Amino acid sequence: MEFLTRDVLVLSFAALMGIAIMAYVILDGYDLGVGVLLPQAKGHDRDQMIHTIAPFWDANETWLVLGGGILLVAFPIAHGIILNATYLAVLIMLIGLILRGVSFELRVKAPAHRLELWNQMFAIGSATAGLAQGFMLGHFVVAFRDDWASLLFAALVAPCVLSAYTLMGASWLVLKTEGDLQHRAARWGRHALWLTALGIVLVSLATPIVSPRIFARWFSLDRIVIMSPIPLLVTWAVIWLSRWFYQFDADEHDHRAWIPFTLTIELFLLSGLGLAYSTFPYVVIDQLTIWDAAASTPTLKMILLGVVIVLPPIIVYSAFSYRIFKGKSTHLSEA
Task: Output the pLDDT for position 335.
Answer: 42
- On whether residue 105 sits in a domain, the answer given is yes
Give the pLDDT mean for 178-193: 91
Digit-coded pLDDT (tens) for 283-303 = 999 899 999 999 999 999 988
- On whether residue 335 sits in a domain, the answer given is no
Give pTM, 2 decimals. 0.92
- On whether residue 332 sits in a domain, the answer given is no
- On whether residue 47 sits in a domain, the answer given is yes
- On whether residue 210 sits in a domain, the answer given is yes
For residue 282, list its beta bridge partners.
289
Task: Output the pLDDT for position 206.
Answer: 93
- On whether residue 329 sits in a domain, the answer given is no
The 10 Å CB-count burial string (b at 16+, else e) for 156-189 is: bbbbbbbbbbbbbbbbbbbbbbbeebbbbbbebb
| 91 vs 328, higher pLDDT | 91
pLDDT for residue 333 is more than 50? no
Query: What string of DSSP letters covers 228-280?
Result: THHHHHHHHHHHHHHHHHHH--HHHHGGGTHHHHHHHHHHHHHHHHHHHHHHT
- On whether residue 1 sits in a domain, the answer given is no
Digit-coded pLDDT (tens) for 17-36 = 999 999 999 999 999 999 99
User: Which domain, by its residues, includes 147?
Assistant: 6-324
| 155 vs 246, higher pLDDT | 155
Domain count, the chain: 1
Return d(Cα 157, Cα 142) in angstroms, integer: 11
pLDDT for residue 189 is more than 90? yes
Give the pLDDT mean for 63-85: 90
